[in-house]
Amino acid sequence: MLEQIAQLVKQFGQQAVVDNNEIPTDLNNQVMAEATNTIVGGLQNIASGGGLQGLLGLFGGNQNQSSGGILSNPIVAMMVGHLTNKLVQKMGLNPGVANSISNNIVPIVLNNLTQKTVSNAPQDNGFDLNDLVSDLIGGGSQQATGGLNLQDILKQFTQGGQLNVDPNVDGQIAQQAQRNQSQGGGLADLIGGFFK
């Protein structure tokens, strides 16, 4: 699933990054890797902070109909700000350019990711919330999700059902995510490998 996120960043980063004359060509892959790392890190923070409830809220929220769109989600707004800061501090980009890149990648990738995850279209069958949670927090899909089929819960929720997640399962997922985040290193290296 992390590879699918990296592919979405490449797809939507083409115009915002690669075709942008204000970004040196030798920084293109670094900028896209940083965008991917920011999105994945933000999703990990949701999993470790609010577990399933937070992820299902992001993925099940009706992003297109809310007044602020996906940017009205505070996690998404924080991801945009985080990426902007990283691009300015790590790569020396102009703050205006960095902000434009962040606003043209993070919300678009997340919106596309959420739409593909709830889609029944055959071309979107690789986008599965169970796989995403497993990749974010580690362990097998059944272990990571406490035996729940998150994809079914998400589809039920987006079709008007109630979002009810057992707090014990939610807490277990958050604890597993926090344990894996404290081990560090591996995820950033993996993401960097997508852009070489």
Mention every residue, 6+ apart, whose C-beta is less than 8 A from residue 112: 8, 12
From CA 176, how far away is CA 43, in angstroms rounded? 14
- State the CB neighbour count (10 A cutoff) for residue 188: 15
> In the numeric block, which tokens belong to residue 81?
């700000």
pTM over 0.95, yes/no: no
pLDDT tens-digit series, residues 109-156: 998 988 888 777 888 877 777 777 777 766 544 444 455 555 555 555
SS3 per residue for 122-188: HHHCCCCHHHHHHHHHCCCHHHHCCCCCHHHHHHHHHCCCCCCCCHHHHHHHHHHHHHHHHHCCHHH
Q: Is 139 exposed, middle or buried (0-12, 13-18, 19+ CB in 10 A)?
A: middle
Closest CA to 136 of 108, 169, 178: 178
CA–CA separation, 164 vs 190, rounded Å?
33
pLDDT tens digits, one per residue of 17-76: 999 999 999 999 999 999 999 999 888 877 776 666 667 777 765 544 444 567 777 888
